Amino acid sequence: MEHPSERDLINYAREELGRYKKFRIIEHCKECPECADRLIEAAREHGPEPEPFKLSKWNKISIVVMLGALLAVAFGMWWLLRSVGQGSGIYEPPAAGAPVAPEDEIPQEGAPPDETEAQRLG
Ligand SMILES: [Zn+2]
C-alpha cells in the first residue's frame, strides 16, 4: 500500500483535503501506525491554531452592559431596603433614647382653678 505523501498529511491536518482523500488517509493510517504517527505530527504542527482567548468588541460591550445592570440592580436593592427601613421601621429597632414626655408637661387633672376665671366670677 502506498503511503500518503507528507503534503497530503499536512493538507489533511489543515482540513484542506477532499472527503475521499481524507478517507483514503484514514484507512491507510488504520493499518500503518507509522503514517498514523506522521498524521498526528502533521496535525500538531499544521493543524488549525486553537483560537486564542481574546475579547471582541461586542464581548467587551456586553460585559460592560452586564456590569452596569448588576450595579443598577445593587443600587436599586440598596435604595429599596433603605427607603423601606426608614418608612416602616421594620428593619430598625426602636430607638433606645426615644423621647418620653417629661412629667412636668403632662397636664394634671387636679390643677388649681385658673385665677382669671375666679376674678371674673367674683
Ligand atoms: Zn503508511
Q: How far apart are CA 64 and CA 116, in angstroms?
A: 78
More confident: 55 or 98? 55
Q: What is the pLDDT of residues 7-53, one digit of tens each?
A: 999 999 988 999 999 999 999 999 999 999 999 999 988 877 666 66
Terminal Cα distance for the chain, rounded: 143
22 CA distance to ligand 1 middle (Å): 14
Half-sphere exposure of residue 105, counting CA atoms within 13 Å on the CB side? 4
50 CA distance to ligand 1 middle (Å): 27
pLDDT, residue 94, reads 59
pLDDT, residue 54, reads 74
More confident: 67 or 120? 67
Predicted structure pTM score: 0.41
Q: What is the pLDDT of residues 95-104, one digit of tens each?
A: 666 666 566 6
Residues lying with their CB under 5 A of ligand 1, a single-atom ion: 3, 32, 35
